[in-house]
Amino acid sequence: MESLRNPFFHRGPIRQSDYFFNRRHEMGQALGLLRSLQNVALVGQRRIGKTSLLFKLADPAIHSDYGLSPAKYLFVYLDGEELTELDDGEIRSVMVEELAAALEAAGHQKSELTLPEGPVEYRTFRHVVRRLTQQGLKLVFCFDEFEGLGANPYLGPSFFSSLRGLTGQLNVAYITASRMPIHALAYAQPETLSSPFFNTFVPLSLGLFSDEDAQGLVETLATRAGATFAPDLVRLIVELAGSHPLLLQIAGFHTFEAWRQRDGVVEEADHAQIQRHFFAEAQPHYEYYWRHLTAEEQYALVTLPLAQHSQEHRQNLRSLEQQCLVTRRDGGLDYLSPAFQSFVRQQSVADLLQAGPFVVDLRQRLALCQGVPLTVTKTELDALIYFLQHAGRVVTPQELEEALWPGEYVEDPERVRSLIKGLRKALAGEADCLVTRWGVGYLFQVPC
């Protein structure tokens, strides 16, 4: 078992085409557009698989399946993050270098391609491109992490307009990959991206997998490595990761390691270890997603069961869906996965009180338990809030009276008992959280 290679890629893009899974529809659209030299903009959230798809699209082995001649189409990969601090001449120099490397990798003759030294002027770059396209080549420049290029302070509209000029006169197309849509990038960097170049792209969005494809990824990759995951292992992976491509790879990686260490027999007792490894690696990604939400998006995410029925949060929910943090399931919106929901439940948000299965919206004075609204009176809600704020500590009847009826203290044990009885009835299946300490008071124990 030790010699088997782990087929799950969780620390970087998938460069080996055989290990790339799914995105058939997006591949067909992108290569269909590039076949006629139309520009394409891949748009998707961080670590959703944009770079992996770029490498897959550049693989000549699949081109003939989509009507492209592998001998004629040359894909040239460029990392936008590496171009952030270069001026236009230096960027063109990098483009020529990568063009030469792509020619060599594809087995084309490059004897007539002279590599200029130092920064490359536009006329020189255009001459290089023209010589190659006159030989029958069609060039596709792939700009990954395009935000880096768009934020480059040394570039202006003229640089991007010069790129556009090549598409109009020579056999050149571009495909970009970015988190923000091309038009949003143009608005964010108007002094740099005001060129009409950005009006020439057809956007293609990358989102979550379907549930069927999520399961298919796990089973296909495991089988490719000679492993057979039992149905309960496949379910565990999908429940941990949801249908997010990267998170599926993370969960699959750690499951495969457990499978290999156990010589192919993973017991239910091993699931906890897989979960711990998954959470440890997924946590930084969750934190990144959370930090990049607006305060209102965070609020809508925590209160998702209620927010999805409110027009007020319509735009926030659409944004959360585009960011692949919620998914449509059973006619409504649900969290990406139970694991991500658990993470959300641990975050602090203004005007919200979270503890275990409970969420109290202090702004609208509403309470949820396991995502279901609680039917409580005003006083019962106040009592629940007080108990949650003092969870794990015994609250005396006198303390509770003073908190709920300030200035109206009456030594009436029945008033408190009646309140506790009503609150327990409202809590239903979670009523055991509220424990009576006879002769002392009440203890609210929040389940993990």
Report the interhelical angle of 271-291 vs 245-261 (nearest 10°). 160
Residues 6+ positions from 371 with CB-CB distance below 8 Å: 304, 305
Q: What's the rounded Cα separation, in Å, for the pair 433 and 154? A: 61
CA-to-CA dists, residue 173 to 141, 200, 207, 370, angstroms: 6, 10, 24, 51
| CATH number 3.40.50.300 given to 23-205 | yes
Q: Is 423 within 8 Å of 384 (Cβ atoms)?
A: yes
Q: How many residues make up the chain in this entry?
A: 448
Q: What's the rounded Cα separation, in Å, for the pair 188 and 149? A: 13
Average the pLDDT over 149-172 and give the result.
89
The pLDDT assigned to 411 comes to 67
Nearest C-alpha neighbor of 178 from the set 276, 51, 334? 51
Tens of pLDDT, residue by residue over 313-342, are 999 999 999 999 999 988 899 999 999 999
Tens of pLDDT, residue by residue over 380-399, are 999 999 999 999 999 999 89
355 or 177: whose pLDDT is higher? 177
Q: Is 133 within 8 Å of 166 (Cβ atoms)?
A: no
pTM across the whole model: 0.87
Q: Is 265 within 8 Å of 272 (Cβ atoms)?
A: no
| CATH number 3.40.50.720 given to 374-448 | no
Give the pLDDT band of residue 206 (cuts 50, 70, 90). very high
Tens of pLDDT, residue by residue over 97-130, are 999 999 988 887 655 567 778 899 999 999 999 9
Nearest C-alpha neighbor of 245 from the set 224, 271, 204, 217? 217
DSSP class of 268: G
Work out whether strand 366-369 and strand 372-373 pair parallel, antiparallel, or are unpaired: antiparallel
Q: Is 40 within 8 Å of 54 (Cβ atoms)?
A: no
**What are the extents of the domains in the chain?**
23-205, 211-291, 294-350, 374-448
Q: What's the rounded Cα separation, in Å, for the pair 193 and 174? A: 15
The pLDDT assigned to 49 comes to 95
The pLDDT assigned to 187 comes to 65
Tens of pLDDT, residue by residue over 334-357, are 999 999 999 999 999 999 999 888
The pLDDT assigned to 192 comes to 60
The pLDDT assigned to 371 comes to 86
Give the pLDDT band of residue 195 (cuts 50, 70, 90). confident
Count of CB atoms situated within 10 Å of the CB of 124: 16
Average the pLDDT over 287-293 and give the result.
96
**Given this chain, do its domains 294-350 and 374-448 carry the same CATH topology?**
yes
* Torsion angle in degrees (nearest 10) through CA of 23, 179, 318, 350: 130
Report the interhelical angle of 295-302 vs 338-345 (nearest 10°). 120
Q: What is the CATH number of domain 294-350?
A: 1.10.10
Residue 364 has pLDDT above 60, yes or no: yes
Q: What's the rounded Cα separation, in Å, for the pair 427 and 448? A: 16
Tens of pLDDT, residue by residue over 226-255, are 998 999 999 999 999 999 999 999 999 999
Residue 69 has pLDDT above 70, yes or no: yes
Work out whether strand 39-43 and strand 326-329 pair parallel, antiparallel, or are unpaired: unpaired
Average pLDDT value over all residues in the chain: 91
Residue 1 has pLDDT above 70, yes or no: no
Q: What's the rounded Cα separation, in Å, for the pair 147 and 188? A: 10
The pLDDT assigned to 406 comes to 86
Q: Which amino acid is at 246?
A: L
Tens of pLDDT, residue by residue over 73-100, are 999 999 999 999 999 999 999 999 999 9
Tens of pLDDT, residue by residue over 409-432, are 666 778 899 999 999 999 988 999
